[in-house]
């Protein structure tokens, strides 16, 4: 008898309930499979950074699984429709009756899994499904009326209360299976040759693959930085954040691993104690919150506003200004530095994600969907729920969103969180010789000729006028 574990968004060995459950059956040989659906990834706007990171982690997982005497086959499918047929053929070839996997909560993935389960039932193959992506499985934390929370603060209180009554526990560590000399030969332990170009991406060198590296980052962050997180997290020039988001996004690290490691450094407390630690735990709960929104309101995964009253907004058509935003040539150094960081590294500091998103949607008044897609195509830590939640928050169309009349001033944000312009100088080196006052808004102090000599563009819009116009647009929709 053979058990098959289907790895998806859970590329790790530890705290992986599906893997542990498959290995607990001592009468069965366990094999693993991963299906690369490149076309589907591209349909979902995954860029080369995210695809390459996933594939590099799959190959690292393949090596790690050898310590458990588990082989990992890598299959290719065109899209999710084709995936179920590829898997069926593989499972029949392996002569298995059990498929183990952990849930995914996006609408297309839910539809795929439902169709696969129906197909496998016809062949007497049962699906054993587990939860591992969030602290608490979506759908459990509900209001007294048994409806989903749409405001973060009461959701946070509810999830904290739930954890207090039901302490989080790691999944039992999987035990290596005995080597089976009669094991079925591997189907395909290598990536399709056409996918290898994704691994040549130089950005991947910034993000070493594997759950072992992720766990090391987690321990180092908790030991050295987490206590100062609340005070330092908003300053992009500081190395003050965990940079664990890429590993959480693909499941090389679990949210429970993060939560339990953090409270270990807080004497087991998760509501009191060190402010930096509780602040970071708060971010993990935001992650659960957006996963719940995605699960309960799948329309947000289809490019729809969470708040339907803003469906009537007529955004500006993207043009030259959008192109300048994409390339980091807006004339606002903090915006340009952030956008260049994204393109050059595949990652952007969280404070700056809010600043550039609000600038695009409120000052340029360009549809948040264009920004969401551009981020998706470049972020190595792309997570649909978090990316959508963040963009709709900034655009004031989402759940628990910032009120439409609260609009970040990028110059003020720059002066507050990058006072000496250190971050700006990293990604806009043409401004490195400007003083601490001028560097935040060169167009206010330098002539067109002086800016041209620096090779830096003039400010392309008036911030005050564009802010007032955006507020007017929103008011008119609400009339």
Q: Which of 6, 347, 391, 393 is catalytic?
A: 391
Percent of residues, the chain, with pLDDT higher than 70: 98
- The widest CA-to-CA distance across the chain, in whole angstroms, is 78
Of 82, 307, 315, 409, the active-site residue reads 315
Q: Where is the domain boundary, 274, 296, 318?
A: 296
Does residue 337 lie in a domain region? yes
The verdict on whether 286 is a catalytic residue reads: yes
Q: Are residues 142 and 20 part of one domain?
A: no
Report how far residue 164's alpha carbon sits from residue 370's, in angstroms, rounded to the nearest whole number.
40
CA–CA distance from 15 to each of 24, 54, 257, 266 (Å)?
14, 19, 7, 21
Average of per-residue pLDDT across 143-172: 97
Q: What is the count of structural domains for the chain?
A: 3
Alpha-carbon distance 394 to 404, whole Å? 9
Rounded to an integer, what distance in angstroms lies between the CA atom of residue 437 and that of residue 435? 5
Q: Is 74 within a domain? A: yes
Per-residue pLDDT band for 401 (boundaries 50, 70, 90) equals: confident
439 located within any domain: yes
Note the pTM of the prediction, 2 decimals. 0.96
Residue 393: active-site member: no
The alpha carbon dihedral of 45, 356, 347, 293 has a sign of negative
| Active-site residue flag, 391 | yes
Is 369 inside any structural domain?
yes
The reply to whether 303 falls in a domain is no
CATH code (residue 320): 1.10.579.10
The b-or-e profile of 228-248 (16+ CB within 10 A means b, else e) is ebbeebbbbbbebbbbbbbbb
Domain at 235, CATH number:
1.25.40.80
Q: Are residues 250 and 338 in the same domain?
A: no
Report whether 228 contacts 239 (CB < 8 A). Answer: no
Same domain, 122 and 143: no
**Are residues 278 and 330 both part of a single domain?**
no
What confidence score (pLDDT) does residue 210 get?
A: 98
DSSP string across 217-283: HHHHHHHHTGGGHHHHTT-TTS--S---HHHHHHTSS-HHHHHHHHHHTTTT-SSSS-HHHHHHHHH
Domain ends where: 264, 296, 328?
Answer: 296
The pLDDT score that the predictor gives to residue 25 is 87
Residue 144 DSSP class: T
Mind listing the pLDDT tens digit for each residue in 342-352? 999 999 999 99
Domain final residue, candidates 263, 296, 329:
296
Same domain, 266 and 324: no
What does the pLDDT read at residue 181?
Answer: 47
| pLDDT tens per residue, range 309-355 | 999 999 999 999 999 999 999 999 999 999 999 999 999 999 999 99
- 138 and 128 part of one domain: no
Report if residue 175 sits inside a domain.
no
Residues 12 and 70 in one domain: yes
72 in helix, strand or coil? strand
Residues 66 and 120 in one domain: yes
Catalytic, out of 283, 321, 329, 409: 283
Question: Which position has the token pair 């180092």?
Answer: 220
Q: pLDDT tens for residues 214-267?
A: 999 999 999 999 999 999 999 999 999 999 999 999 999 999 999 999 999 999
Q: Do 86 and 149 lie in a common domain?
A: no
Look at residue 69 and give its three-state secondary structure.
coil
Residues 119 and 226 in one domain: no
- Which residue in the list 280, 368, 388, 441 is annotated as catalytic? 368
- Residue-wise pLDDT for 163-214, tens only, equals 999 999 999 999 999 876 455 556 777 899 999 999 999 999 999 999 999 9
For the stretch 111-145, pLDDT in tens is 999 999 999 999 999 999 999 999 999 999 999 99
Catalytic hit among 69, 282, 329, 350: 350
Q: Which of 286, 325, 347, 393 is catalytic?
A: 286
Q: Is 280 a catalytic residue?
A: no
- Catalytic site residue 368? yes
- Backbone angles phi and psi of 205, in degrees to 5: -65, -25
Query: Domain check: are 339 and 425 in the same one?
Result: yes
Q: What is the CATH number of the domain that holds 79?
A: 3.40.50.620
Parent domain of 320 = 308-478
Same domain assignment for residues 440 and 454: yes
Q: Is residue 207 part of a domain?
A: no
| Residue 430 forms part of a structural domain | yes
Quick check: is 272 catalytic? no
């Amino acid at each position: 008898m053979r058990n098959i574990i289907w790895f998806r968004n859970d590329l790790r060995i530890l705290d992986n309930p599906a893997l542990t459950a498959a290995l607990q059956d001592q009468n069965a040989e366990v094999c693993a499979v991963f299906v690369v659906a490149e076309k589907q990834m591209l349909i979902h706007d995954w860029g080369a950074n995210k695809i390459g990171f996933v594939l590099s982690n799959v190959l690292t997982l393949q090596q790690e699984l050898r310590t458990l005497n588990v082989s990992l086959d890598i299959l290719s499918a065109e899209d999710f429709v084709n995936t179920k047929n590829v898997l069926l053929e593989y499972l029949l070839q392996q002569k298995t009756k059990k498929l183990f996997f952990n849930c995914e909560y996006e609408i297309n993935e839910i539809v795929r899994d439902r169709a696969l389960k129906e197909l496998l039932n016809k062949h007497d193959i049962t699906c054993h499904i587990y939860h591992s992506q969030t602290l608490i499985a979506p759908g459990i934390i509900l209001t007294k009326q048994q409806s989903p929370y749409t405001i973060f603060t009461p959701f946070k209180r509810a999830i904290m209360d739930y954890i207090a009554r039901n302490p989080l526990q790691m999944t039992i560590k999987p035990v290596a299976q005995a080597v089976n000399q009669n094991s079925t030969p591997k189907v395909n332990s290598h990536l399709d040759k056409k996918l290898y170009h994704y691994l040549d991406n130089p950005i991947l060198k910034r993000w070493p693959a594997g759950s072992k590296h992720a766990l090391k980052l987690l321990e180092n962050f908790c030991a050295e930085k987490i206590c100062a997180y609340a005070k330092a997290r908003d300053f992009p020039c500081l190395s003050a954040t965990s940079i664990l988001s890429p590993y959480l996004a693909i499941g090389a690290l679990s949210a429970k691993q993060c939560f339990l490691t953090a409270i270990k450094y807080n004497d087991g407390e998760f509501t009191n104690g060190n402010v930096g630690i509780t602040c970071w735990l708060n971010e993990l709960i935001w992650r659960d919150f957006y996963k719940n929104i995605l699960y309960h309101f799948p329309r947000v995964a289809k490019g729809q506003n969470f708040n339907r009253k803003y469906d009537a907004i007529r955004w500006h058509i993207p043009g030259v200004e959008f192109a300048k935003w994409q390339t980091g040539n807006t004339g606002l150094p903090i915006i340009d530095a952030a956008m260049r960081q994204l393109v050059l590294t595949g990652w952007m500091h969280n404070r700056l994600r809010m600043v550039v998103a609000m600038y695009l949607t409120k000052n340029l008044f360009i549809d948040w969907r264009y920004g969401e897609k551009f981020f998706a195509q470049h972020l190595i830590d792309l997570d649909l729920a978090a990316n959508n939640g963040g963009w709709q928050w900034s655009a004031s169309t989402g759940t628990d969103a910032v009120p439409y009349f609260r609009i970040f001033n990028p110059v003020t944000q720059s002066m507050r969180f990058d006072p000496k312009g250190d971050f700006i100088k990293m990604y806009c080196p043409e401004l490195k010789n400007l003083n601490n006052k001028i560097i935040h808004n060169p167009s206010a102090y330098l002539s067109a000729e002086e800016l041209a000599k620096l090779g830096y563009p003039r400010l392309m819009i008036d911030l005050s006028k564009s802010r007032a116009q955006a507020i007017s647009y929103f008011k008119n929709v609400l009339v």
